[in-house]
Copies of this chain bind each other. A is one copy, B any other.
Amino acid sequence: MESRTLEVRTGHAPAIVDLTPEVVAFCHGRGDGLCHVFVPHATAGLAIIEVGAGSERDLWTAVDGLLPRDDRWVHRHGSLGHGADHLLPAFVAPSLSVPVDDGVPALGTWQSIVLVDPNRDNPVRRVRLSFLAG
């Protein structure tokens, strides 16, 4: 299994980072198979959405509705509402996979693979890419 670990700078604000170029580069030349993406952090997830048309901001609106950043959470440390960050991966999971045809991820036209990181306290994240030959 071929693997690569990306280091992603997410800064000190909630961040949605497009990983598609890195995934495309990683798959290049590898033939047919599955590209598996994994985030080894407990307060971030992965999604496949359209980017650049407003859905990034909309996603935070939806996440804030589902997981309000207030003092309701038992798990509390760091910023107010950080307990919400710990729930994000239950709904926006940290593992996904995409078919790859002749080294090219078979994403739809409007699909981008993004890191969803609500966490204000960890400015650098890792993302693990793995290729399973089919």
Which A residues have a C-beta under 8 Å from some C-beta of B?
1-3, 32-34, 36, 38-42, 47-50, 53-55, 57-59, 61-62, 65-67, 72-76, 83, 86-87, 89-99, 101, 106-111, 116, 128, 130, 132-134
Contact = CB atoms under 8 A, between A and B. Distances in A.
Oligomeric state, in number of copies? 3
Given A55-B83, A58-B86, A66-B66, A38 B91 contact: no
B73 A58 contact: yes
Nearest to A86: B55
A33 B133 CA distance: 11
Given A83-B55, A95-B96, A38 B106 contact: yes
B76 A90 contact: no
A123 B124 CA distance: 41
Contacts of A108: 39-42
B74 A67 contact: no
What are the 3 closest A-B residue pairs judged by CB atoms, nearest first?
Answer: A1-B134, A54-B74, A40-B108
Nearest to A50: B42
Nearest to A46: B93
